[in-house]
Structure 1
Amino acid sequence: MDDNWWVTNLKALESRPQRLEALTAMNTTIAREAALPRQTIERLLTTAELYDCANPAADSHAPKDQAVDVTLELLCHCLDQLTMDTADEQLPSLLRRGLTHSNPALRAQVLASLLKELRRQMTAGQVRTLPNNELILLILDELKQPDTEGTSVAINILSIVLGQRINDPDVQAMLVQLLKQNEIVRCCAYELAVFLAKKSATLLNAVTFILDAALSELDNDDVLLQASVMELLVPLAEQNHGLSYMERRRVLDILSFRVQRIDEHPLDALLIPSIMKFFGKIAVYQPLKIIGGYPHMLGCLFVQLLSEDESILPTAMDTLANLATSPQGKILLNMHFSAAMEKSFERYGSHIKKLSAHIKERLLNSLDVIYDFKTPPAKEINTILKNWYECFAGGAHANTIMDLINTPFPDLQMAALALLKTICKYNWGIVALKNTGGAVEFLLSRQKDLHRDIKYMKWQIMEILSASAEFSPTETIRFTAYVNEGPYHVQADLDVATEPQGNA
Structure 2
Amino acid sequence: MAASIESLLEEISSIEDPIEELQNLKTALLSIPLSTLRNVVSGQRLDAIFSLLYTNEREQTELCVAILSRILLALSPLHLAQNLPSELVAGLVHPDKTVKILALTQISRMMEHPEAVTEILKNHDVVREVIHCIKSEEISVAKEAIGSLSKLSHSKAGLDALFRSDLLNEIKRVMAAGDILRYRVYELVVGISSGSAISLGYCANSNILSQLLDELTGNDILIRATAIEMVTTLAHSKHGRQYLAQQGAMDKISNLIRGAETDSFSTLYLPGLVKFFGTLAIMESPQQICEHYPAFQNKVFEMALDPDPVMTGVALDTLGLLGSNVEGKQVLHKTGGKFKAVLFRMSQLASTGATEMRVRCLEAIAQLISLQAEQQTEDLLALTESWFLLLTDHPMEMIRNISTQPFPELHCAALNIFAAIAPQPWGQRLMITTPGFMEFVVDRSSGKTKEAKDAKFELVGALVSSARPADMLGSQNYLRLKTYLREGPYYVLAVATVATEGAD
TM range, smaller chain: 0.7 to 0.9
| Matches of 1:24 and 1:447, distance apart in 2 | 53
Residues 243, 450 of structure 1: alpha-carbon distance in 2 compared, 3 angstrom cutoff: closer
1:73 correspondence with 2:66 = yes
Residues 454, 6 of structure 1: alpha-carbon distance in 2 compared, 3 angstrom cutoff: closer
| Matches of 1:293 and 1:313, distance apart in 2 | 23
Report what 1:310 is aligned to: 309
Query: Shift of the alpha carbon at 1:493?
Result: 6.0
Q: Pick from 6, 11, 14: which aligns with 1:8?
A: 11
CA contact (8 A) 1:85 1:91 kept: no
Residues 263, 421 of structure 1: alpha-carbon distance in 2 compared, 3 angstrom cutoff: closer
Amino acid at match of 1:20: I
Q: Pick from 188, 200, 207: which aligns with 2:184?
A: 188
Query: Shift of the alpha carbon at 1:294?
Result: 0.8
Q: Pick from 165, 168, 172: which aligns with 2:164?
A: 168
1:85 correspondence with 2:78 = yes
Amino acid at match of 1:450: K
Query: Shift of the alpha carbon at 1:94?
Result: 4.3
Report what 1:478 is aligned to: 480
| Matches of 2:185 and 2:64, distance apart in 1 | 32
Report what 2:156 is aligned to: none
| Matches of 2:141 and 2:96, distance apart in 1 | 11
1:149 correspondence with 2:152 = no
| Matches of 1:224 and 1:375, distance apart in 2 | 45
Secondary structure class of the residue paired with 1:146: coil
Secondary structure class of the residue paired with 2:448: coil
Residues 339, 42 of structure 1: alpha-carbon distance in 2 compared, 3 angstrom cutoff: farther
Percent identity between matched residues is 22
Q: What are the superposed Cα offsets for residues 6-42 of structure 1, whole Å, 9 maximum, x if unpaired?
A: 2321232xx3xx1202312322333335224586676
Structure-2-length-normalised TM-score: 0.83
| Pairing of 1:382-393 with structure 2 (within 5 A) | 382-392=381-391
Report what 1:377 is aligned to: 375
| Matches of 1:272 and 1:249, distance apart in 2 | 21
1:245 correspondence with 2:243 = yes
Report what 1:277 is aligned to: 275
CA contact (8 A) 2:121 2:161 kept: no
Amino acid at match of 1:11: S
Residues 26, 494 of structure 1: alpha-carbon distance in 2 compared, 3 angstrom cutoff: closer
| Matches of 2:91 and 2:263, distance apart in 1 | 49
Structure 2: 5+ residue stretches without partners: 154-158, 500-504
CA contact (8 A) 2:41 2:71 kept: no
| Pairing of 1:9-88 with structure 2 (within 5 A) | 9-12=12-15, 15=16, 18-33=17-32, 34-37=36-39, 43-44=45-46, 48-53=50-55, 65-85=58-78, 88=81
| Matches of 1:161 and 1:374, distance apart in 2 | 42
CA contact (8 A) 1:407 1:413 kept: yes
Residues 423, 24 of structure 1: alpha-carbon distance in 2 compared, 3 angstrom cutoff: same
| Pairing of 1:369-448 with structure 2 (within 5 A) | 369-370=367-368, 376-377=374-375, 379=377, 382-392=381-391, 394=393, 398-447=396-445
CA contact (8 A) 1:76 1:109 kept: yes
Residues 83, 355 of structure 1: alpha-carbon distance in 2 compared, 3 angstrom cutoff: same
1:292 correspondence with 2:317 = no
Report what 1:60 is aligned to: none
| Pairing of 1:119-158 with structure 2 (within 5 A) | 129=118, 131-132=121-122, 133-158=124-149
Secondary structure class of the residue paired with 2:489: coil
Query: Shift of the alpha carbon at 1:46?
Result: 7.5
CA contact (8 A) 2:225 2:269 kept: yes
| Matches of 1:258 and 1:319, distance apart in 2 | 18
CA contact (8 A) 1:462 1:482 kept: yes
Query: Shift of the alpha carbon at 1:131?
Result: 3.7
| Matches of 1:127 and 1:363, distance apart in 2 | 51
Query: Shift of the alpha carbon at 1:344?
Result: 1.9
Amino acid at match of 2:482: T
CA contact (8 A) 2:52 2:60 kept: no
Report what 1:198 is aligned to: 194
Amino acid at match of 1:35: L
Q: What are the superposed Cα offsets for residues 238-262 of structure 1, whole Å, 9 maximum, x if unpaired?
A: 3343223323333222232233233
Report what 1:365 is aligned to: 363
Q: What are the superposed Cα offsets for residues 375-422 of structure 1, whole Å, 9 maximum, x if unpaired?
A: 853636555434433333557x62221121122222211221123223
| Matches of 1:86 and 1:164, distance apart in 2 | 24
| Matches of 1:41 and 1:69, distance apart in 2 | 24
Structure-1-length-normalised TM-score: 0.83
The answer to which of 18-27 and 197-206 deviates more is 197-206
Structure 1: 5+ residue stretches without partners: 58-64, 498-504
Aligned residues: 478
Q: Pick from 81, 92, 114: which aligns with 1:99?
A: 92
Over the residues paired in the alignment, what is the CA RMSD in angstroms? 3.3
Residues 409, 243 of structure 1: alpha-carbon distance in 2 compared, 3 angstrom cutoff: same
| Matches of 2:373 and 2:187, distance apart in 1 | 33
Amino acid at match of 1:410: P
Query: Shift of the alpha carbon at 1:448?
Result: 7.2
| Matches of 2:116 and 2:392, distance apart in 1 | 53
CA contact (8 A) 1:87 1:128 kept: no
Amino acid at match of 1:270: L
CA contact (8 A) 1:423 1:429 kept: yes
Secondary structure class of the residue paired with 2:265: helix
Report what 2:453 is aligned to: 455
| Matches of 1:204 and 1:161, distance apart in 2 | 14
| Matches of 1:372 and 1:98, distance apart in 2 | 54
Amino acid at match of 1:475: N
